Chain A
Amino acid sequence: DAGVIQSPRHEVTEMGQEVTLRCKPISGHNSLFWYRQTMMRGLELLIYFNNNVPIDDSGMPEDRFSAKMPNASFSTLKIQPSEPRDSAVYFCASSLGRTRRTGELFFGEGSRLTVL
């Protein structure tokens, strides 16, 4: 399997611009997570989907952030408008959830976002 695929790998944008990050989970996985990682705060959950339905979005910072999962093989995380404090590495991860005893997460390579 190709693993979790994220794009873009790197994004540099200016404050106020819209940013869209994309994720293709591992085929057959029913759970999808968006995490944000910074030196200060570590790895923080933004949103969790199960069977394409958002289950927990309590980690989404504010209304500027939105996420969708229109089908089992694609998800997007959008930031509009972007701010310098959004600069971080955004990871998408997928798992088999409760169908597997461990339910460990498989992470994509991440999207490094820099907002100037």
Chain B
Amino acid sequence: NAGVMQNPRHLVRRRGQEARLRCSPMKGHSHVYWYRQLPEEGLKFMVYLQKENIIDESGMPKERFSAEFPKEGPSILRIQQVVRGDSAAYFCASSSLAGDSGANVLTFGAGSRLTVL
């Protein structure tokens, strides 16, 4: 019973390039969340998606960042024209219950560490 799978685990990009981070939720989970963790800081909510729907993207920077969770395949977090400040660990979490359920428990993936040179 695989957990939340993220890849790549480590990604190095030069400024101006694109980064694509992938997240496959746990089996049976249809709710996906992306969080970002900057060095020495806590995780910050970015976006909440269900299959083919973005429910809440209030934590996403307005430019260069986008997320999707297609009907088939993993959720993708895409960062265009990366800058040094995008260097961080990006964690994906999934749940089986709707996001506003009080009993909702998130399971986190191992994260993708992006380094921008």
Are these two chains actual partners, yes or no?
Answer: no
Q: Residues on A close to B: CB < 8 A?
A: none
